[in-house]
Amino acid sequence: MPRIDNQRFYQNAIKRYGCTARGLNWNSKGSQQIRFEVIHELLMPHVHQSSLIDAGCGFGDFYLFLEQRGARPLKYIGYDILLEALFVAQKRTKQHCVKCDILNDRLALADFYVASGSMNILSREETFTFIRRCFEASNKGFIFNLLKGQAQEGHFNYFLPEEIEAYVSDFAYEVQMYEGYMEGDFTVFLKKEGV
């Protein structure tokens, strides 16, 4: 069962803050950018010759971040469940942005899937499903971040890195964890064999 109504959570923020990082319930644009930088560094050896699906693309900020750094992927698709966000993402990025429920809809194959902040309000079970589905739909790997901490009540979903490592151990070829770039956050790179 979901922790809270995903669509209402984001629609309320967009109404209040508009098409900004705060409108997607980020603490600040700065925290969003720090997380993007980590994902960018992990993609760098591969990004120019790879297709990329941004799972929970919001307003297309990650694509714009890559573009500013001269790191556009060979092909980009943005997935989001919120039509309001997709409309903005499509306009800003001029890329293919599609309504998609990662937990239930058919996922296209891509070299890499990335997700930044996309699982922060899911239930624990939904988070595990999201991770597995994105990894299975990737040819090379899945890079994502999560809030770090003990599981607790409230809007947000917290994990410890060792919980994720234990969960993915039966299907990911290689797992890399990145911590220390920001308090209360960690990034995971699940690699397919040969990457």
| Mean pLDDT estimate for the chain | 88
- What pTM was estimated for this model as a whole? 0.87
> What DSSP designation does 98 have?
E
- Burial label for 125, CB within 10 Å (0-12, 13-18, 19+), is exposed
**Residue 36 covered by a domain:** yes
Q: What is the CATH number of the domain that holds 24?
A: 3.40.50.150
Residues 6+ apart with CB under 8 A from 184: 147, 148, 149
**Residue 118 covered by a domain:** yes
Q: pLDDT digit string (tens) for 32-78? A: 899 999 999 999 989 999 999 999 999 999 999 999 999 999 999 99
User: Any idea of the CA torsion for 118, 20, 63, 119, to the nearest 10 degrees?
Assistant: 0
Number of domains in the chain: 1
Alpha-carbon distance of 52 to 116, in angstroms, equals 13
Alpha-carbon distance of 46 to 151, in angstroms, equals 34
Q: What is the pLDDT of residue 20?
A: 55
> Does the structure show a pLDDT above 60 at 100?
yes
Number of H helices, E strands in the chain: 6, 8
**Residue 1 covered by a domain:** no
- Across the range 122-142, mean pLDDT stands at 96
**Residue 47 covered by a domain:** yes
Distance of CA 30 to the CA centre of its chain: 17
**Residue 23 covered by a domain:** yes
Please, which residues bridge with residue 114 across strands? 54, 143
Reported as a pLDDT band with limits 50, 70 and 90, residue 3 is very low
Residue 170's domain comprises 6-191
Residue 105 one-letter amino acid: D
Alpha-carbon distance of 52 to 109, in angstroms, equals 9
